[in-house]
Homo-oligomer: A and B are copies of this chain.
Amino acid sequence: MTYCVGLKIDRGLVFMSDTRTNAGIDSISTFRKMYTWEEPGERVIVLMGAGNLATTQAVVSNLNERVKSTGKRPPSIMHTPSMYQTAKLVGDTVKEVIASSAPAGESADAFAASFILGGQVKGGEPRIFLIYPEGNFIETCEDTPFFQIGETKYGKPILVRAYDPAMSFEETVKLLVLSFDSTLRSNLSVGLPLDLLFCERDTYKVTYRRRFAQDDPYYQELAEGWSKALRTAFKSLPHLKD
């Protein structure tokens, strides 16, 4: 499994992903699931994938090969004129990769993968898309300012309750760490380390990047502090009276 979140705040875009992949409970590995393309001052693009690892890696390799190739192939992820066109490019690539993996006429379910694509291209707004295995996609809006992929349920309640578009980057990191910690505690197939990335609005670059490992002091402080704070909050609420 996997857990990735892409979240839009007034100040920019924040992304977090775990690094655990598993083919069965007895075959667990660590892979980065967050990929970036950047031309500082011009464009920054972040892609996170959940699902079949061969599919997500093939999609990224395809996108990278188009960046390197010259002339003859369609616009690369470094040249798309907008985030919408970038989402179309990634969606088409996802569709192609999955179609070429599945035997003719058979179900492509085993090869499925979903993606969160976010970023900002000069002249446009920061945007986040959720790309389905079918290649189509949806975009965040005011009512739904974040997307999750993979094991999304355990970490959703805290996101729903504490998100505020005016949050600072530091508060957003806190929120994401808590959402991931709730997930890690309940699902073994989501695991540390976690990758964090912030793209500040209108800088068109990766403003901050960090990896939280098991022994990260801030991660530990938050995880323990949250357990205590939750228990205190729990105790503060009234008991049933009648």
Contact = CB atoms under 8 A, between A and B. Distances in A.
Interface in A148-175: 153-154, 156-158, 160-162, 168, 170-171, 173-175
Interface stretch (A72-80, A82-90, A94-102, A231-239): A231-239
Given A153-B186, A229-B234, 10 more contacts: A157-B185, A161-B227, A162-B230, A170-B239, A175-B234, A178-B234, A225-B236, A226-B233, A229-B236, A230-B233
Interface string A205-242: 00000000000001001100111011111101111110
Assembly of this chain: how many copies?
A: 2
Interface residues of A, number: 36
Interface of A is mostly: helix
A238 B222 contact: yes
A182 interface: yes
Nearest to A185: B160
Interface string A172-215: 01110010001001100000000000000000000000000000
A186 B170 CA distance: 26
Contacts of A157: 154, 157, 182, 185-186
Contacts of A225: 236-238
Contacts of A170: 239-240
A237 B222 contact: yes
19 contacts: A153-B186, A158-B230, A158-B234, A160-B185, A161-B230, A162-B230, A162-B231, A170-B240, A171-B239, A174-B237, A174-B238, A174-B240, A178-B234, A218-B240, A218-B241, A225-B236, A226-B237, A229-B234, A229-B237
Contacts of A182: 157
Contacts of A222: 237-238
Contacts of A168: 239
Contacts of A218: 238, 240-241
B239 A174 contact: yes
Interface in A17-44: none
A167 to B, nearest CB: 10
A29 B158 CA distance: 29
Contacts of A173: 239-240
A211 to B, nearest CB: 13
